[in-house]
Amino acid sequence: PHQRSTYDFFMPQAMREDIQKKLYATQLVVPSTALPNIGEWYTLSPLDTSNKKNPTSFGYPSWLYKAYNARVAHYFALRRLEGFGLSSQLPLQKMNEWRKIRHPHIVSLHEAFTTRNFNDNSLVFVYDYYPCSKTLQEHYFPAGRYKSVVVSEDVLWSYISQITAALKMIHSHNLAARCIELSKIIVDNSRIRLAACGILDVTRFGLDNKPMQQLQQEDLFKFGSVMFALASGGTIPLPNDAAKARDLLNPKLSEKLKDTIVWLISPPRSLSEPKTLEEFASTIALQLCDYIQTAGLDNDEKGRILKMEVENGRIARLTMKLNAVLERGDLGLVKDWSEVGERYHLKLFRDYVFHRVDADGNPDLSIGHMISCLNKLDAGTEEHIQLITRDSETLIITTYREVRALLNRAFNELVKHSKNGAPGSQ
């Protein structure tokens, strides 16, 4: 067996930092007086990194904001189309289909609404928010960097597998992704997600009456164009001739990969034989197997770390409960509720866990002691503990099980007094 490193005992530093960076980005509010609140949407902050009004993707300039939804206590990404009004709900008809799609390689679309709070007609699409994501465009071709980029064979296959799985889901729901471009696919570590599904179904509604099959064919072509850009260095426009395109691909890539990209950007053999996602997927089945391996190993790694992190969760829950109860002051008709009755024991328990002193009266801040006490509290063990009143006059002997029962009673009393019931229940 291989040697065990520190990584086997703790969450790897890189993962912790990555998560913390994202938590921080989620919390961060760039104060912007220019941005309104809209109904249940608060603290909008811009996610766009450039300030340019760009109507390329949707036919209307679009802006992306992080926004807090007060009702569900969660952040979302709002895509606003500037100057787009709706005179009927008809163009939104595909929204109900899109809301059903939950896929690891598609950013979930929750709803769409119009608003005049930006002092114009705006249409807003509500997507899941992924802190710190970049678009493939930003990731591989950041503005001002013209050096051509080399994306490795493995990464390209991984992207192909992910987009194929996403399109399988979309096409089998009788939808088309429609917006597949470098600037509308977000990347986070090695994971990519289609980030702007559903919008063109609204903005192009009634303008072209292409049948769904044709839109799905176009998906395959757009998919191919994105892969062509990544596999050719991105600076070259896609030639009309697929054979010419092939010559522009990074010569180090395998023939299989080149064939795959060329297939995507080539026209169908005949109009009666349209290209389908199913046909495409069957040609890359072995690469899909490879991606299953990648995803599974990632899953195993996360599972392993979760196992190690289980302790923290219960400590957090318990200390929050304890803090909600202690030193609360009056509750309902009970004066000084936290200090009287059996809650007093909880206060002493808190002293026992957190306010320990050594023989000389100096603070003893051993985290081991705190964690071990809280774990025993969570387990409700029969072990005895001696709680001493502040005046050192009285000694109370109890068990962790009894303290746990006390804490639950006290907390439930708070819950009963609260309007919204148990925390998290709303």
Ligand X SMILES: Nc1ncnc2c1ncn2[C@@H]1O[C@H](COP(=O)(O)OP(=O)(O)OP(=O)(O)O)[C@@H](O)[C@H]1O
Among ligand X, its own copies, Mg ion, none, the one that 49 touches (CB under a kind-dependent 5 to 8 A) is ligand X
d(CA 308, CA 297): 17
Where do we find the tokens 């064939």? Answer: 259
296: tokens are 């599974």
| Binding-residue pattern over the window 70 to 109 for Mg ion, x denoting contact by CB under 5 A | ----------------------------------------
How is residue 330 annotated by DSSP? -
Instruction: Determine contact, residues 105/193, Cβ cutoff 8 Å.
Output: yes
**Cβ pair 141, 182 in contact under 8 A:** yes
> Is residue 255 within the footprint of its own copies (CB under 8 A)?
no
Q: Does 307 sit near its own copies (CB under 8 A)?
A: yes
Q: Which does 285 bind (CB under 5 to 8 A by kind): Mg ion, its own copies, ligand X, none?
A: its own copies
Interface mask toward Mg ion for 32-61; x: CB under 5 A? ----------------x-------------
Per-position b or e across 327-347, b if 16+ CB within 10 A of its CB: ebeebeebeebbeeeebbbbb
Within 114-153, the residues that bind ligand X by CB under 6 A are 127-130, 133-135, 137-138
Which amino acid belongs to residue 247?
D
Per residue, the 3-state secondary structure of 237-265, as one string, reads CCCCCHHHHHHHCCCCCCHHHHHHHHHHH
The option from Mg ion, its own copies, ligand X, none interacting with 370 (CB < 5 to 8 A, set by class) reads: its own copies
Q: Which does 183 bind (CB under 5 to 8 A by kind): its own copies, Mg ion, ligand X, none?
A: ligand X
Please report how close the Cβ of residue 127 comes to ligand X at its closest, in angstroms.
Answer: 4
Which stretch, 51-59, 268-276, 367-375, 382-390, contacts ligand X (CB under 6 A)? Answer: 51-59
The answer to whether residues 44 and 32 touch, using CB atoms and an 8 Å cutoff, is yes
Minimum gap (Å) between residue 141 Cβ and its own copies: 26
Contact region with ligand X (CB under 6 A), list: 166-174, 182-190, 219-227, 350-358 = 182-190
Judged by beta carbon distances under 5 to 8 A according to partner kind, the member of Mg ion, ligand X, its own copies, none in contact with residue 139 is: none
Per-residue contact string for residues 344-373; x = within reach of its own copies by CB under 8 A: ---x--xx-xxx--x-x-xxxxxxx-x-x-
Beta bridge partners of 363: 357
Closest C-alpha among 299, 346, 355, 354 to residue 327: 346
Alpha carbon distance 222, 168 (integer Å): 15
Smallest distance from its own copies to CB 178, Å = 19
Of all residues in the shown chain, the one whose CB is closest to ligand X is 54
Q: CB within 8 A of 387, min separation 6: which ones?
A: 345, 348, 349, 351, 352, 395, 396, 397, 398
Give the span between the Cα atoms of 327 and 322, in whole angstroms: 10
Of 73-112, which residues contact ligand X (CB under 6 A)? 77, 107
Using the contact rule CB under 6 A, the part of the chain among 55-63, 316-324, 355-363, 380-388 near ligand X is 55-63
Partners of 111 in the β-ladder: 126
Nearest approach, Cβ of 380 to ligand X (angstroms)? 23
3-state helix, strand, coil in the chain (%, to 5): 45, 15, 40
Intra-chain end-to-end CA distance of the chain, in Å: 48
Instruction: For residue 183, state whether it binds ligand X (rule: CB under 6 A).
Output: yes
Alpha-carbon distance 56 to 179, whole Å?
Answer: 11
Supply the minimum distance, in Å, between the C-beta of residue 344 and ligand X. 40
Site for ligand X in 8-47 (CB under 6 A): 47
Interface with ligand X by CB under 6 A: which range of 48-56, 269-277, 336-344, 383-391?
48-56
The single residue among 38, 192, 195, 277 that binds ligand X, judged by CB under 6 A, is 195
Beta-strand runs (E) in 284-409: 384-388, 395-399
Q: How far is the CB of 130 from ligand X (least distance, A)?
A: 4
For residue 148, CA distances in Å to 248, 329, 339 come to 12, 65, 69
Whole-number Å distance between alpha carbons of 197 and 178: 7
Residue nearer to ligand X on the CB measure, 27 or 272? 27
Of 62, 164, 232, 250, the one binding its own copies by CB under 8 A: 164
Site residues, ligand X (CB under 6 A): 47-50, 54, 56-57, 62, 64, 77, 107, 127-130, 133-135, 137-138, 183-184, 186, 195
